Amino acid sequence: MNNPQNDINVVKDFVKDFVKEIPQEISRELSERQLVILGLIASDSTISAKAISKKVSEKLSHKISEKNTVTERTIQNDIAQLKKLGILRRKGGRKNGEWEIVKGKEC
């Protein structure tokens, strides 16, 4: 079984490194939720929007006392924004594809 604390640490490490690698004007546009999404994708490039929604809800609820859920549609909107910014690409098909995070000057 996946250790949630380990997932959180992977996301934190990824976010810290990733923000250094992208242009500042882009990093300012990213929400905390979008950074968590990128961290989750970095740890599993085949993750679905539904699974991201569940994990983001878990991660963000650690920061606040009440349980907040993030809908799959919200995640899809965030992913669309990340794709528009040139940070995220989809390689392959809907079922067998995977996410690719674009870093550095490629953004």
Q: What is the pLDDT of residues 54-97, one digit of tens each?
A: 888 877 666 555 556 788 899 999 999 999 989 999 999 888 89
Beta strands in the chain, from DSSP E residues, in sequence order: 88-91, 98-101
pTM over 0.85: no
Q: 86 — alpha (psi -120 to 50), left (phi > 0) or beta? A: left
Return the half-sphere exposure (C-beta side, CA atoms, 13 A cut-off) of residue 91. Answer: 8
Per the CB < 8 A criterion, the answer to whether 99 and 45 are in contact is yes
Q: 37 — alpha (psi -120 to 50), left (phi > 0) or beta? A: alpha
Q: What is the pLDDT of residues 16-34, one digit of tens each?
A: 677 667 777 777 778 888 9
